[in-house]
Amino acid sequence: QSKVHVVCMAGAGLGVTSHHPILQTRLQAGQGYGSTLSCLLTVYRNESVAGFFKGMSFPLASIALYNSVVFGVFSNTQRLFSQLRHGDPSRSPGLADVTLASMVAGFVSVGIGTPIDLVKIRLQMQTQPHTKANTKPKPSAPGSCVYRGSIHCFSTVLQKEGIAGIYRGAGAMVLRDVPGYCFHFIPYIVLCDWTNPDGCISPKASSVWLAGGVSGAISWAITTPMDVVKTRLQADGVYLTKYRGTLDCILQSYRNEGLKVFFRGITVNTVRGFPVSSATFLGYELSLKAMKRDQTETNP
């Protein structure tokens, strides 16, 4: 089991550099962006290149741990189901086993992913102007910096809002990640099986790259509506507290901006989902293959 975690950390390292969607955050929770290109140009014009790297330190420091937990839970849950259902943990899992393992991995990921996303989004949104809201304003004025960095952001939210503040948006994240990881792992396994010849133990690198990319694009496209809700809930609270919860966020967003609001950032999500997922799965499979080869050479 420990090897699964080591392998997943190696896979995470390849995907981390492109896993920082500030454009997605600004499009989903910001104001005044007409399109992805408009958002990109506005960020560059107002904040220069440094603006694209806001909130990056916390995700960089934690993405390896996050991915290792997700992949580790997924792999070990599959083995557990195979053991319980067939008496053989090494038996290839069926579709039902993969689905259940994906759901468990998605649920567990929320425990680690919610604080990471909250800090990232608060840092990315703290200089954004906010429109009126029928709520109590925070002491800082919109456009000013509330947080000095990731640690200051985390400690400030924890001090002022407690554990509930750190896990703001967790309900929406469960609704995003539980089905999201089903559409992440299932297409990957199906495509790998389809593109690999019978009897091939390890999938080819090209198959992993394609299957991983397609699965990432599919999962992010499908989960974008709930990702919008999660992002808005977590961005809420930098200056104003506008939403009372997941349902209230959905209703207010729909009432004020219509159905199209739930598809904000879908292009960015889908496009970035391909290389991020490709790199993560490729790193995972190549590292796993290297460790198996090393184990064989060590124990002939």
Residue among 261, 241, 239, 240 at smallest CA distance from 250: 261
Whole-angstrom Cα distance, residue 135 to residue 124?
Answer: 22
Q: Express the helix, strand and coil content of the chain in percent, nearest 5 each.
A: 75, 0, 25
- 């925070």: which residue's tokens? 138
pLDDT in tens, the chain (300 residues): 444 444 454 444 444 444 456 888 888 888 777 788 888 888 888 888 877 777 777 777 778 788 888 988 998 999 898 888 878 887 888 889 999 999 999 999 999 999 999 999 998 887 655 444 444 445 444 455 778 888 999 999 999 999 999 999 999 999 999 999 999 999 999 998 888 766 556 778 888 999 999 999 999 999 999 999 999 999 987 777 889 999 999 999 999 999 999 999 999 899 989 998 998 898 888 877 777 666 555 555
Q: What is the CATH number of the domain that holds 223?
A: 1.50.40.10
The verdict on residue 145 lying in a domain is no
* Structure letter (DSSP) for residue 91: S
The verdict on residue 183 lying in a domain is yes
Could you list the residue range(s) of the whole structural domain that residue 105 is in?
1-129+150-293
Residue among 183, 52, 56, 172 at smallest CA distance from 116: 56
Contacts of 167 (CB under 8 A, 6+ apart): 114, 115, 118
- Could you tell me where the DSSP H helices lie in 90-167? 95-125, 150-166
Query: What pLDDT sits at residue 127?
Result: 66
* Structure letter (DSSP) for residue 141: P
Paired tokens of 299: 């124990």
The verdict on residue 58 lying in a domain is yes
Question: Is residue 8 a contact partner of residue 282, using CB atoms and an 8 Å limit?
Answer: no
The verdict on residue 176 lying in a domain is yes
Contacts of 261 (CB under 8 A, 6+ apart): 228, 253, 254
Query: What pLDDT sits at residue 295?
Result: 56
Whole-angstrom Cα distance, residue 72 to residue 77?
Answer: 8
Contacts of 234 (CB under 8 A, 6+ apart): 117, 118, 121, 122, 168, 169
**Global pTM value:** 0.82
Paired tokens of 291: 């460790």
The verdict on residue 135 lying in a domain is no
For the chain, how many structural domains are there in total?
A: 1
The verdict on residue 141 lying in a domain is no
The verdict on residue 142 lying in a domain is no
The verdict on residue 138 lying in a domain is no
